[in-house]
Structure 1
Amino acid sequence: MTDVTNALIYEVLKGIQYDVGGIKAEVRDVKGELQAIRTHMTGLSQDIGNIYQIIGRHDDRLARIETRLGLLEPAH
């Protein structure tokens, strides 16, 4: 059986430390990408809300036009 020396343990720990450093960097990158996705999703959500408001206004205007033209019965 091989003797476990401090030098051998030190080398293994250096390798682990290097790997953990790489993982930390990759996690940092993923967090940045996730934040960018969240920002983009927030913008899309606001855009969709704006579109719904515009469609609602157009729907109201269309109803008034149809009522004036006699295409719809007025609401009682």
Structure 2
Amino acid sequence: MAEISNELIYEVLKAVQARLAQVDGKVDENKSDMMALRSQMTAVHHDLLSIHQELGGVHATLIRHEQRLDRIERRLELSEAPSLV
């Protein structure tokens, strides 16, 4: 069996330390990527909320126009439904 010396242990520990530094670098890289993704997701979420609110406004406008057209049709007696009068 090979003799284990302090120098051999030191060399192995240096190699382990170098690998650990690489892993730390990759972890930091992944953290920054995740932070970037999180901010992008937040931006998309805000965009979707804006779109939802805008669609709600369009829907409300369409409802008002439909009600107005119904009133106009009733006044001009253009509605297809039979009048009760």
Task: Decide: shared fold, TM above 0.5.
Answer: yes
The residue number in structure 2 matching 1:52 is 52
Q: How many residues align?
A: 71
Amino acid paired to 1:34:
M
Separation of aligned partners in 1, 2:25 and 2:39? 21
Separation in 1, partners of 2:53, 2:21: 49
- Report the secondary structure of 2:70's partner residue: coil
Q: Which 5+ residue runs of structure 1 have no aligned equivalent?
A: 72-76
Q: Please, what is the CA RMSD of the aligned residues?
A: 1.1
2:77 matched residue in structure 1: none
Moved over 2 A (4+): none
| Whole-Å separation in 2 of the counterparts to 1:68 and 1:32 | 54
| One-letter code aligned to 1:55 | L
Output one character per residue of 1:5-51: Cα deviation in whole Å (capped at 9) or x when no partner: 00000000000000000000111111000000000000000000000
State how far apart, in whole Å, the 2-side matches of 1:21 and 1:58 are: 55
The TM-score with structure 2 as length reference comes to: 0.81
> Deviations 1:32-71 (Å, cap 9, x if unpaired)?
0000000000000000000000000100000000111118
Paired residue for 2:25?
25
Residue identity (%): 35
